[in-house]
């Protein structure tokens, strides 16, 4: 059961290797948002002049300050909304370390899975990051248009994305890209359900920052359980 996979992952959250990945993912996430805000400030400075002259008003000198303040509020709002999706994407860079820790603790008879080439991992992470950002920005419009359904949309969308990507990354370590995609399609319903369970705590501040690590560990257990079921069927 997926709840067993989740409980095993939760019990291992104190593993130093998990903490290392957590801090690395959060560091990259914060760095990205800082770079994003610096870019916004530069854009505001380039677009809005220091002084403009309006008819019947005269010189206006506060326009750039207003735009800078508005951009700061917008950046803070987006950071709250997109922090977890971005952290989830960056965690994919270090997923091998989480999966190795899980397999070393619970599946010690397995040989170590080969590491994917670094550039391939980076390319996959960038692609996932792009999908997560675009999907959640589009979903933001749906949240505003359908407020009562916002939680359901959030959980359904991010559950699908987290389940699809994390299972694919975990399975690729043992099956390769094509084999992982085939297995993911075979068990799509279970994977989406597991991703949905991972998405539920995303609404809880602070707890949600642990979800990328917890999800990677849970999907490692899920992959091995489904592999055992497939061999036994």
Write out the residue range of the structural domain in which residue 152 sits: 2-107+115-232
Query: What is the C-alpha end-to-end distance of the chain, expressed in Å?
Result: 17
For residue range 68-122, what is the model confidence (pLDDT) as tens digits?
666 666 666 666 566 667 777 777 788 888 999 999 999 999 988 888 777 887 7
- CA dist 5 and 98 (Å) reads 14
Task: Please compute the mean of the pLDDT values over residues 139-148 and round it to a whole number.
Answer: 86
Check: CB of residue 207 under 8 Å from CB of residue 201: yes
More confident residue, 175 or 55: 175
On whether the pTM is more than 0.85, the answer is no
Check: CB of residue 60 under 8 Å from CB of residue 52: yes
Of 51, 47, 53, which Cα lies nearest the Cα of 61?
Answer: 51
Q: Where are the alpha helices (DSSP H) in the chain?
A: 2-11, 16-47, 63-91, 95-106, 118-145, 150-186, 188-199, 211-232
Of 115, 122, 121, 85, which Cα lies nearest the Cα of 97?
Answer: 115
Check: CB of residue 177 under 8 Å from CB of residue 53: no
Task: Please compute the mean of the pLDDT values over residues 44-63 and round it to a whole number.
Answer: 57
Tell me how many degrees the CA angle 91-72-68 measures, rounded to the nearest 5.
Answer: 140
> Structural domain tally of the chain?
1
Predicted local distance difference test score (pLDDT) of residue 65: 64
Q: Which range scores top for mean pLDDT: 29-43, 72-86, 172-186? A: 172-186
């Amino acid at each position: 059961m997926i709840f067993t996979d989740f409980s095993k992952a939760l019990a291992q959250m104190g593993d130093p290797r998990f903490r290392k990945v957590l801090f690395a993912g959060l560091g990259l996430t914060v760095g990205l948002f800082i770079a994003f805000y610096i870019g916004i400030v530069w854009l505001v400075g380039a677009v809005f002049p220091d002084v403009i002259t309006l008819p019947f008003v005269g010189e206006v000198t506060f326009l750039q300050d207003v735009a800078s303040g508005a951009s700061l509020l917008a950046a803070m709002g987006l950071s709250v909304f997109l922090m977890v999706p971005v952290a989830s994407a960056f965690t994919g860079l270090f997923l091998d370390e989480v999966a190795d820790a899980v397999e070393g603790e619970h599946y010690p008879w397995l040989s170590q899975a080969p590491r994917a080439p670094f550039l391939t991992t980076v390319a996959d992470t960038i692609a996932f990051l792009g999908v997560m950002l675009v999907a959640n920005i589009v979903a933001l419009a749906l949240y505003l248009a359908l407020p009562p359904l916002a939680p359901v949309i959030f959980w359904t969308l991010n559950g699908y994305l987290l389940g699809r990507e994390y299972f694919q990354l975990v399975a690729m370590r043992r099956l390769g890209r094509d084999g992982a995609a085939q297995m993911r399609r075979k068990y799509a319903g279970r994977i989406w359900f597991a991703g949905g369970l991972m998405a539920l705590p995303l609404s809880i501040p602070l707890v949600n920052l642990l979800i990328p690590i917890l999800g990677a560990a849970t999907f490692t257990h899920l992959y091995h359980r489904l592999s055992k079921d497939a061999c036994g069927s």
